[in-house]
Amino acid sequence: MSTVNGTSATDVLSQYRTQTQDSSSTKSTSDMGKNEFMELMIAQLNNQNPLKPQENGDFLAQLAQFSSLEEMQGISDSVQDVTGQFRSTQALQASAMVGRSVMVPSQTAVLGASGDVNGAVEVPASTSSLRVDVLNSSGELVRQLDLGPATAGQSSFSWDGKDGDGNDLPEGTYLLKANASYTSGTEQLSTMIGANVDSVSLGTSGDITLNLAGMGSVGLSDVRQIN
């Protein structure tokens, strides 16, 4: 079974449900529900002036408000149940991503012990020449990856961690810039970089964050591709 921060997927759901229950308890203590509404209405009837009793129309209006409140609470509970089930499903899906590689929008790549970096370029329109420049932490160009012509869509690339002379470069952070040639000139394009998912974190509000090796934390919604 997949783990999240060293725990099982079952523990992830338990953690989420506890957070949801705590949130519901806090809300119930601060909001007036149908029971409190009915108690206030009964107290009003018991303490009304016998010489000037409440009009039937006013009483019916309060009953209508009570009925509307009860219906609204029922709808709210149903929506919360659906939302909870959806987030539970998201948590399970996220826990299954631990140990896998994902693609996220980034220009920064971390060259690790494996000695290679995988990524993709988002090409808006067909280009006659697509190139990825690799720069070190000092901003020096250490490698050019000529990808040739490319059509609109995602164009994948792989860097073996070597410079232009075939020498292994040291581990560390590198900047990757993609450039495409068009009739109007050279245009810099967006890139996506692949990274392994080390763990998954659940926020107090139910937000799901992926902790990527060498890249830090990103939201689940930022993932563009799962390898």
pLDDT given for residue 210 in this prediction: 87
pLDDT given for residue 189 in this prediction: 96
pLDDT given for residue 3 in this prediction: 45
The domain made up of 103-194 has a fold known as Immunoglobulin-like (2.60.40)
Provide DSSP, 109-150: EEE-TT--EEEEEEESS-EEEEEEEEE-TTS-EEEEEEEEEE
Cα 193 versus chain centre, distance: 17
> What stretches of the chain show up as alpha helix (H) in DSSP?
9-30, 34-46, 56-95
pLDDT in tens, the chain (227 residues): 444 454 445 454 455 555 555 555 544 444 555 566 667 666 666 666 565 555 555 655 666 666 666 667 666 666 666 656 666 666 676 777 788 889 999 999 999 887 889 999 999 999 999 999 999 999 999 999 999 999 999 999 999 999 999 999 999 999 999 999 999 999 999 999 998 889 888 776 667 888 898 888 888 888 888 87
What distances in angstroms separate CA 76 from CA 82, 112, 206, one per listed residue? 10, 49, 18
User: Hey, is 86 helix, strand or coil?
Assistant: helix
Residue 98's contacts (CB-CB under 8 Å, 6 or more residues apart) are: 2, 3, 4, 197, 198, 199, 200
8 A C-beta contact, residue 199 and residue 4: yes
Q: What's the start-to-end Cα distance of the chain, in Å?
A: 19
Q: Which residue type occupies 164?
A: G
pLDDT given for residue 177 in this prediction: 96
Sorted by where each begins, the domain ranges of the chain are 3-95, 103-194
